[in-house]
Amino acid sequence: MTDSPRLPDSRMIPGLRSRDAWSTAHRPGSAAAGPAEAGDAFVRPFIVTGGRTEPRQGGLRVDTLVRARPAAADSELEFERLSIVRLCAERALSVAEVAVGIGVPLGVARILIADLIAEDLLDHQESTALSGHAIERIRDLVRAL
């Protein structure tokens, strides 16, 4: 086993071009190892969800469609919650589309959307289950990759 620290995969961290950049930026005493720059907008997911890892109201699937209620436009929301309401005001979007639209992990989006549904700011509609044929077709397409 080696004593060198285990470095993150550069594909998992936006803006990180190589492992060398991580090592250089996070070396003790390095100027870059200090607080984030003012232009850096990264917020840890557990801060956004208040430390929760599961939604209070379960049952939201990735393909569940959500749409903002008219009353949501008048409510006082901030940050990601406001972004979700704005995204879903024009048309219904899936939970996965909302996650991509506001730039958060899927789990974080599920928690925020479940909170907005519980507050009656979003309507949701479960999609119908896939047929056996559709599932087999997806499986075949994934295998072909």
Give the per-residue pLDDT at 37: 47
Q: Write out the two tokens for 90.
A: 């024009």
Confidence of residue 101 (pLDDT cuts 50, 70, 90): very high
> Is the C-alpha dihedral spanning 68, 73, 77, 82 positive or negative?
positive
pTM: 0.61
Give the three-state DSSP class for 65. strand
pLDDT of residue 74: 81
Residue 19 has pLDDT above 90, yes or no: no
Higher model confidence: residue 100 or residue 20?
Answer: 100
Average pLDDT over residues 9-34: 52
Q: What is the reported pLDDT for 3? A: 59
Structure tokens that stand for 132 in this block: 């056996």
Tell me the C-alpha distance between 74 and 82, whole Å. Answer: 11
Mean pLDDT computed over 94-100? 93
What span, in angstroms and rounded, lies between the C-alpha atoms of 33 and 26? 5
- pLDDT tens-place string over residues 38-81: 445 677 877 777 788 788 777 788 888 999 998 887 888 888 88
| pLDDT value for 44 | 81
Q: Strands 93-94 and 65-68: what pairing?
A: antiparallel
Mean pLDDT, all residues of the chain: 77
